[in-house]
Amino acid sequence: MIDINIDDFFHDIAVTLLSLYQQFPRKISLYLEDISGPDDMDEFGLHSNRYLSTIGAVSWLHDEGYIRYSNIVHQESVEDCTLTQMAFVKLIRPTLPSNHLADASSVEKQQHTLAQQLHCALKDQSSIEVRSLIERHLLTL
């Protein structure tokens, strides 16, 4: 069975975290269509399952302590949204092995942050790499 909903979940998490990272430390209005893509509402004005899944991913990030926000307005935007300290540290900490970290240049350290790796994976449209990065760095217990 192909779990497209899970791939979408990982994509939404990556896009949300990077959007907030690029604006950090400001609190921003995060528009859900910027994460999910255009919404195809039905004839009753109800959002698509894909769009509703994006709301779920953003809510999950909030519930798990990765982001803060004041409220979701009309299922369109997330207001006063920012990263928590935990998410910010995970995004900026170099992912190099400790024995390589001391000898790495600042450029190498920057290239090996979760933020940079997620950026590259999204740019390359590699859902496998996005999933791997999220699993390795955010879903570990």
Q: Express each pLDDT in 14-54 by its tens digit.
A: 999 999 999 999 999 999 999 988 877 777 777 788 888 99
Q: What is the pLDDT of residue 37?
A: 86
Q: What is the pLDDT of residue 94?
A: 81
DSSP string, 59-126: HHHHHTTSEE-SEEETTTEEEEEEE-HHHHHHHHSB-S-HHHHTT--HHHHHHTBHHHHHHHHHHTT-
Q: What is the pLDDT of residue 12?
A: 95
Q: What is the pLDDT of residue 81?
A: 97
Q: Express each pLDDT in 50-101 by its tens digit.
A: 888 999 999 999 999 999 999 998 888 999 999 999 999 999 988 766 666 5
Asked if 31 contacts 77 with a C-beta cutoff of 8 angstroms, the reply is yes
Q: What is the pTM of this model?
A: 0.89
pLDDT at 123 over 90: yes
Whole-number Cα distances in Å, 107 to 2, 41, 94, 104, 111: 38, 44, 10, 8, 6
Q: How many beta carbons lie within 10 A of that of residue 85, not counting itself?
A: 8
Q: Express each pLDDT in 87-118 by its tens digit.
A: 999 999 887 666 665 666 666 767 789 999 99
DSSP 44: T
